[in-house]
A and B are shown apart, each in its own frame.
Chain A
Amino acid sequence: MKNAVNKTISGIIEIARGMATIMKHFFRPSITLEYPEKKPDLPPRFRGRLALLTNSDGTDACIGCKSCVKVCPCVDLIQIETSKDPETKKIVVEQFTIDIGRCIFCGNCTEICPKNAIVSTDEFELADYSRESLVFDKKALTLDPEKSQRLRDKKEKEVK
């Protein structure tokens, strides 16, 4: 009998405590992010769509070393065509194509890149109506100098 009464009282106290905790939540602002209207604030290491950076003078940061092609786990995902400029003897990147539809967003290419030319952006809304439109060519991948700088700054912060 005494045991039953004790159990009842402790049960009531426990339930009341639980309900008080839930009541505290009633007055909290909701943590729901109403996604299509409000975008999430993504961390710098977020691995979204790949992009090519440009230097501040507008030239490509990519030097055409093809390290990313070697390290990429998806066969023929990154396709680079280079040619040698006959005057300056420098390698010029003619074509740089990434099939984002097959990309697994592992980020190996961004790690191996000696010039940090290829980076992951925080763009993740990649749905499209055809596979062909997910193949990004050099023009679509390259960011203008201003955006490149902003992205570099963001990645810098992450290192520190």
Chain B
Amino acid sequence: MYDLYAKILNILRLPEIIAQLTWAVIPFACIAALMVFVVIFLVLMERKFLAWLTVRKGPNRVGPNGFLQTFADAIKLLFKEDIMSEETNKLLFTIAPVIAFAPVMIIYGLMPFTEHLIAINIAVGLFLVFALSSLTTVGIVLAGWSSNNKYSLLGGMRSAAQAISYEIPLVIAVLSIAVLAGSLNLKEIVTAQSGGLFSWNIFPAFIGFIVLFICSIAEVNRVPFDLPEAESELVSGYNTEYSGMKFALFFLAEYAALFIMSVLISTLFLGGYLPPFNDYLSIILLDNIIKNQAIMDILIHLEQGFWLVAKTYTLLFLIIWIRGTLPRLRADQLMGFSWKFLLPLAFINLILTSIIKLAIQGY
């Protein structure tokens, strides 16, 4: 691929050094574009579904059926004045949204969206994903602290407490996946689940799936665990003082994290980009019609993308549905639920999956 890129630049009479320098930027730019588009339509999807669940119409003014509403919102946010009050810690206040946003972006690069569409394929991908996703909390705490506002501070503190207590059952639930797949590489975890619906990790580790699902909702601060930005008590929590671009960055980070958490759950438990059948649909249906291997590869590649998107958006719909149904928890309920309920459940799941793994493989 690089040779092709260098050749194109050579035809355009650009020196080779530019090709070498810009080659590394291309995946980054693709991820950034993907992320922004995903978030824009995720926000629209959430607003529409939430409206339908509560017997409303939702945004329907901008574009056909409100299709361009979030574009309008995004443009509005970018042109807003960037307000910073006198007593804020300017440096930390500016850095905080970046710290909240950057780790999420790296996680996008680590995800195997399809067999070939993975920007950074490293041996400890799973570990890195959770290391980075907990970094987002640092940004939120910094935002709360540097705003010089008691609501922001309370939001940040709650976020820290919540993230610390939910990280533990989350990681232990994911540990069972590492046990089952025998690897921390996300791509290997996916390929270990090949062979149809019943070889997905959700069957041996169903409790783990539940625990991870609940914890990931808490991890991205969504209803019913949205205490860091509880509107009714904390104005809007850690981002009370933020406006304009910085607020947009927080918003982007939050929804990007929501999407990537759903991708992660479907990668770990629902077979990632693999189909729920024994073989790819395009092979089952079109094997006798299309003889060309190259076209077949492209079809399979597209199908892999389709399966991942289908699984991810099913989970996202579930999360939106939960948001439409459940009320917010109290802070002590939140903590008790994590430590007294999810943590033992995660351990039970780990023991069960280990026993299943032993029973199947015999060592």
Contacts and interface: CB of A to CB of B under 8 A. Distances in A.
Interface of A: 8, 15, 18-19, 21-23, 25-26, 28-32, 34
A9 to B, nearest CB: 13
B1 to A, nearest CB: 44
13 contacts: A15-B326, A18-B325, A19-B321, A21-B325, A22-B324, A23-B321, A25-B52, A25-B54, A26-B52, A29-B55, A31-B56, A34-B57, A34-B60
A1 to B, nearest CB: 11
Contacts of A15: 325-326
A34 B51 CA distance: 14
Contact of A31 (B55, B324, B326): B55
Contact of A19 (B51, B54, B60, B325): B325
B55 A30 contact: yes
Given A30-B57, A32-B55, 15 more contacts: A8-B341, A15-B325, A18-B326, A19-B321, A19-B322, A25-B54, A25-B55, A26-B49, A26-B52, A26-B53, A28-B55, A29-B55, A30-B52, A30-B55, A30-B56
A18 B325 CA distance: 6
A22 B57 contact: no
B52 to A, nearest CB: 5
B152 to A, nearest CB: 31
Interface of B: 49, 51-57, 60, 321-322, 324-326, 341
B325 A25 contact: no
A15 B323 CA distance: 12
A18 B322 CA distance: 9
B55, B57, B60, B321, most chain A CB atoms within 10 A: B55
A21 B321 CA distance: 11
B339 to A, nearest CB: 13
Interface of A is mostly: helix
A136 to B, nearest CB: 34
Q: Is the interface of B mostly helix, strand, loop or mixed?
A: helix
Nearest to A34: B57
Taking each of A8, A18, A22, which has the highest tally of chain B beta carbons within 10 Å of its own beta carbon?
A22
A23 B53 CA distance: 7
A13 to B, nearest CB: 14
Nearest to A25: B55
B57 A25 contact: no
B326 A25 contact: no
Contacts of B54: 25
A32 B341 CA distance: 41
Contacts of A18: 325-326
A28 B55 CA distance: 7
Nearest to A29: B55
B50 to A, nearest CB: 10
A22 B321 CA distance: 8
A2 B24 CA distance: 57
A29 B52 CA distance: 8
A25 B53 contact: yes
Contacts of B322: 19
Contacts of B53: 22-23, 25-26
A26 B321 CA distance: 10
A32 B57 contact: yes
A8 B60 CA distance: 40
B56 A32 contact: yes
B214 to A, nearest CB: 11
Nearest to A33: B57
Contacts of A32: 55-57
B211 to A, nearest CB: 13
A30 B322 CA distance: 20
A26 B318 CA distance: 13
A117 B348 CA distance: 80
Contacts of A21: 325
A5 to B, nearest CB: 11
